[in-house]
Chain A
Amino acid sequence: MSLRDAAFESMLQRRQLRGMIFEAIAFLAILIGLLTLALLFYDIITSGVERLSWDFLTSFPSRRASRAGILSALAGSVFLVSLMSIFAFPIGIGAAIYLEEYAPRGWLTDLIQVNIANLAGVPSIIYGLLGLGIFARLAEPITGGRTLLAGALTMALLVMPVVIIAAREAIRSVPSEIRLAALGLGATRWQMIRGHVLPYALPGILTGTILAISRALGETAPLITLGALTYVPFVPDGLRSQFTVLPIQIFNWVTRPQEAFHTNAAAAIIVLLAILLSMNALAIYLRYRFEKRLMK
């Protein structure tokens, strides 16, 4: 049979044309995304970079834009996510281990799984209301009301579904051969999990937790609902301290009429973005390192 078949070739040309059109559309899509992002960065950086200085990082907010800084917001953000991590990660990872390794398969487990996925999609302001009701009001004797502790607990609830889902995916990706190898050597279930499942799943779990932290760093709505303050001229000095966080500070500055405060807001956004991007970079780096160690 001849290799040159006119009918086939014209069809082939059409097929390849279609592929090229799709490729062009896909390229356009990513171009739009990247350009928007670049524009956003450019806009923020050009309007805020002049305001960035050591003083800006180490000053408290002030009525005068030129003297205002983000110290209390930065400290509040760091304390909040640290405290949140202490609550969210052990519980979230523990829940993931239970669901993947111990829970009997059945409608109840399925129901729980579906609902965790649903929880991840609940608007964050709902968590704020929940936190307000439970942690700030009901548990006021413990949390002290609208405090750092109440905020951290609320945020912990907010990121928990994300942590659980990421950890479960990571745990599920552990090959069953490794589990069987461990059990075949006379390991108990926990020895298998501790010795092999968790180390293997660690990069995935870590990535999930870092993404959860990033998410928490950027959240504003639930904390505003909870009643975090907008003017906090001090660094939190304990679990029951009043606090604010970077996004709230930014929000506050953006709503001021004076142009100088908008510049402050842009500078604060640069700081927040820098933190978020370095967290993501860390997640990628850790994942890469662990995978290399694991796979050789």
Chain B
Amino acid sequence: MTSQNIVQFDGPTILKAENVAVYYGDKQVLRDVMLSVPTHKITALIGPSGSGKSTLLRCFNRMNDLIRGARVEGQVTYHDQDLYDPEVDPVEVRRRIGMVFQKPNPFPKSIYENITWGARINGYRGTMDELVERSLRRAALWDEVKDRLHENALSLSGGQQQRLCIARAIAIEPEVILMDEPASALDPIATLKIEELMHELKENYTILIVTHNMQQAARVSDYTAMMMLTEDRNSATVIEFGKTQAIFTHPRDRRTEDYITGRIG
């Protein structure tokens, strides 16, 4: 119905959703979702509140499995492997496809342990000190915390905590990082730091980010997917996908245009 607005991306894709539908109990939340996530690019998921952005994001690392009554239908693939194949262990999936949550959620342990824990449980064999420094540097946090690595992570500011969560996610070397409004609780300066960070991370990782902030989507992302409730308002889907620049300058769908210019949402 709206598929003419979904520009099929023809470069390398890492994650793909095909005809995905998600139910919470009896309630259908997503339907007919088609989305290809380009490798080593930043893809933004935008759309009004309740349009299923977080739900779709969670499909990609099987976090929906943890929600009682949630059911995912259709196909979600990672390097063309079905993520929902019964043979696939969700633990393995989450190890490759990391996640940063909306609210910073460091472990109530030291900064150092926050980084090393994930690596340790995943059998990391290298030197922990190096891993900690490398991850914190990549997350642009090293200089601020290098003298207090053994302090509790909860003593950091919100923005520092969020960068720590990013450092923690990249310490286990996933291929993809899913971010659910990672900057929504942060001030503009911390937000800017995280955005810069994403630009650098793009070299090594694929990032899929949910954001409510249109400027942010326009600034950081290469591709944008627009989500919206369908006409009957019962469930939502991706109504438009394409290069961010194209979407923001010449949206094809009227609803996308209304949303990004602030007329609805």
Contact = CB atoms under 8 A, between A and B. Distances in A.
Contacts of A141: none
Contacts, number: 68
Contacts of A294: 108, 152
A186 B92 contact: yes
Interface string B120-136: 01100000000000000
Contacts of A184: 61, 63, 94, 98-99, 101, 169
Contact of A186 (B94, B107, B108, B151): B94
Interface string B47-77: 0000000000000010100101000000000
B61 A295 contact: no
Contact of A177 (B94, B101, B152): B101
A1 B91 CA distance: 65
B90 to A, nearest CB: 8
Nearest to B165: A181
Interface string A181-201: 111111110010001100010
Interface residues of B, number: 29
Contact of A195 (B117, B154, B165): B117
B154 A295 contact: yes
A103 to B, nearest CB: 13
A188 B89 CA distance: 10
B63 A187 contact: no
A184 B101 CA distance: 9
A187 B91 contact: yes
A63 interface: no
Contact of B122 (A178, A186, A196): A186
A15 interface: no
Interface string B93-126: 0111011010101111000000001100110000
Nearest to A191: B121
Given A195-B117, A294-B108, A186 B95 contact: yes
Residue from A175, A181, A184, A294 with most neighbouring chain B CB atoms (10 Å): A184
B108 A187 contact: no
A186 B172 contact: yes
A286 B98 CA distance: 36
19 contacts: A105-B68, A177-B103, A180-B101, A181-B107, A183-B63, A185-B117, A185-B122, A185-B168, A185-B169, A186-B91, A186-B118, A186-B122, A186-B172, A187-B121, A188-B121, A195-B121, A196-B107, A294-B108, A296-B155
Given A183-B63, A186-B91, A186-B118, 8 more contacts: A177-B103, A180-B105, A183-B66, A184-B99, A185-B117, A186-B122, A188-B121, A296-B154
